[in-house]
Amino acid sequence: MKKEIQFSLVYRDMWQSSGKYVPRRDQLAKIAPVIIDMGCFDRVETNGGASEQVNLLYGENPNLAVRTFTKPFNEAGIKTHMLDRGLNALRMNPVPADVRKLMYKVKHAQGVDITRIFCGLNDPRNIIPSIKWAKEAGMTAQATMCITYSKVHTAEYYINLAEQLIEGGAQEICLKDMAGIGRPAMLGTIVAAIKAKHPDIIIQYHGHTGPGFSVASMLEVAKAGGDVLDVAIEPLSWGKVHPDVITIQAMLRDAGFLVKDINMKAYMEARHLTQSFIDDFLGYWIDPKNSQMTSLLVGCGLPGGMMGSLMADLKGMHAAINTNLRKKGEKELTEDELLVELFDEVQRIWPMLGTPCLVTPFSQYVKNAALFNLYSKSMDEKPFTRMDPAMWGMILGKSGKLPGTLAPEIIELAKEKGFEFYTGDPQALYPDELPRFIKEMEENGWDRGQDDEELFEFAMHEKQYREYKSGQAKEQFNKDLLERMEKAAKGGQQIVFLSAADKRAILHPDSEPLEAPANGRLFWELNFDEGSAAPVHGKVFRKGEPVAYLQTQHGVEVLEAFDDCRLVAIDHEAGDMIAKGQTICWFKHEEIKAEPKKAAAKAPKKAPAKAKVVEPKVSKWKDGMNVLKK
């Protein structure tokens, strides 16, 4: 009887290995039924990793996005799964145990079936508690081994690790080959050994295509008894992402495996929709180089998923390093030369730092250490002089036990700085925090959400959640989008014609501007202090309440709120000279419940704020401005 191989579409990781953001809720609702119609997927990755954090960054509620995306798959009998960073859960830094435990209850309630739990250090202490909590919440616990290639990470190392995770309660095992540098033969050996002892344990393989091994690795894993393979679809397959389902299906069918047919009409529709999401806004954060494979990754082992951020960091450091070289009269480096130097430095220092698996967040730590070393070299400084607290946290054992041993010079440097090494359970360093978040939500009148999902998001992504709630996140995202659109237009990458109305729609949808009625200098307070603070984002103004003041050649104009409204964005600071018709800030209509009903009477639609001229008494002329009598 033919061995059946199932396919899992890693739709979330397709986007996050290509760029920064993931599709909006409405876009996910469009693509889900088409993915189902393709007929070849038994699993779909719907959320996890950084996806919910970036939802907040562009002003969208991640809980609604997850529920929207999982629902059609749940109804179709397709299993959904998420990426879970173990001790770090859904962020870059460690998470208290009570927040980690709540995550599984929330995600199961939202329709997520499987959690893929990994630790970049492969420390079972960071994974096994999550196995227990996930199972208690009704989820399938898929324990994950981060695959890399080093003297430490041998086949025996992974076979022993799998035993510990299965003994700890894991229902499935995932081989997460995040950089795609796992050697096919070694992967086959690992899978065969696990299946020989645990034939009922489902094994799923996840391999990025960056250095080119993953197609061969998938065949070896399937031959060794693997059950599920992660795949992608165009236009985001290949490059630094994942192999395309069409290729893998054809390869496995030819090798004698049982695989599902692909509805090519639905595939092409999914391809078209995905491209439309890229064209809509997501493509402005996708580095074109992420569509290219490169064998340079074989040596350094960096994951394809971080290449976008790496290139951005490299560009920023490139100019600084060349400035230092120029001052010393040395030859400047091209970007490609610096990239090769960075890869070489990563390869050199990786074993010195204990050989952590190069996956989030440890790939960033090692990359940053290498990049700072190159900068220090251009400054004639010693290496490892610019490591931040997060890097030291990894080195000192606060994130778990390193797989390898630290170099003597790193240990000596830690002693010089007075640092102490930690060998206990990492979770013990991060006490429970939910009561603090519950108290603040009660004080703010914030709803904890269905199944406590809003409480979870606040506790998991505190800073981003605050910015989402205030509207600041949406404002910053829209500004970034507009800048990228205009830059693309100027660079000839895309023809974009943006009128003032277009810009307003992008920057502040469903809002109205407060425009200057004349030329003048802007002030937010009557004291005319150029350093006076502007009102905070989200501040509510009642009808007739002063918003700002404009010093004109004829006197001071008080800009009043025309209606009850909420401040959503500010374009200028106190002391700025403003031209007539220029936008000062933006408002959205806000219905204040405490107001009498007559205040909500219908009136002709107008801008939410207007200028009112007042004739203040002028006592003297100072610094070219009129100053009011107190």
**Tens of pLDDT, residues 11-68:** 999 999 998 899 999 999 999 999 999 999 999 999 999 999 999 999 999 999 999 9
- CATH 3.20.20.70 assigned to domain 6-287? The reply is yes
Q: Per-residue pLDDT for 596 more than 50?
A: no
**Alpha carbon distance 579, 314 (integer Å):** 39
pTM for this model (two decimals): 0.80
Q: Could you report the per-residue pLDDT of 171-205, keeping only the tens digit for each?
A: 999 999 999 999 999 999 999 999 999 999 999 99
Q: Per-residue pLDDT for 616 more than 80?
A: no
| Count of beta carbons in the 10 Å neighbourhood of residue 214 | 31
Q: How far is CA 314 from CA 307, 320, 359, 423, 606, in A?
A: 10, 10, 18, 34, 48
Output the pLDDT for position 623: 30
Mean of the per-residue pLDDT values for the chain?
A: 89
Q: Per-residue pLDDT for 497 more than 70?
A: no
Q: Per-residue pLDDT for 599 more than 50?
A: no
Q: Per-residue pLDDT for 374 more than 60?
A: yes
| Domain limits, the chain | 6-287, 297-428, 471-507, 508-628
- Tokens coding 79: 């299993």
Output the pLDDT for position 314: 77
* Contacts of 510 by beta carbon, 8 Å cutoff, 6+ apart: 588
Give phi and psi for 116, each to the nearest 5. -95, 105
- Tokens coding 52: 């919910």
The single residue listed with the structure tokens 């290498």 is 370
Q: Residue 557 is inside which H or E element, if any?
A: strand 555-561
Output the pLDDT for position 487: 83
**558: β partners:** 549, 612
Residues above pLDDT 90, as percent of the chain: 67
Output the pLDDT for position 508: 74
CATH fold for the domain made of 508-628: OB fold (Dihydrolipoamide Acetyltransferase, E2P) (2.40.50)
